Amino acid sequence: MAFARRRLQLGALLTLGPIIPAVLWWSLSRAPAARHQDGMAIEVSLGSRELKVVEDGKVTHTYGIAVGRPSHPTPTGSFRSGSIDWNPAWTPPPTAWARNKEYQPPGAASNPMQGVKIYFQAPYYFIHGTNDPGSIGEAASHGCIRMTPDDATELAHLIEKAGGGVPINISD
């Protein structure tokens, strides 16, 4: 009986051992940007169509953005910036709206990703420069956050300078 109990305890320990650090890491990596008083964070307001860079608790940059249209809303919640692709190509995602779209090479005028692509919810949601700067201030994207190419490039440099992975809080 004692042997069976020890075996059960060991099994539970071996099962939960790797899970606890993973859950802790996940919860900390998705913590709201408001908790990060030091360092850099990004605050996005879908309603006001603004992206703000907060450094050491102070807003240092404010950018106009385009957000997802009602049929393809931008996800809300807490995220973390991921990899940054400079001068990205555009490959149509495997979704209905992109069914008849074609691959666009880096720098092509018809490439909707201009300058830079910053992942925040892989594989299909990014902050990126746009080939349609007139859409800034509108609900015009398929869920991504669009910026002018110059603004997106400046933001990517700020993210890199801050270490590459910064909290992003997206709210209505």
Provide the annotated active-site residues. Answer: 128, 144
Phi and psi at residue 148, to the nearest 5°: -60, 155
Looking at residue 139, its amino acid is: A
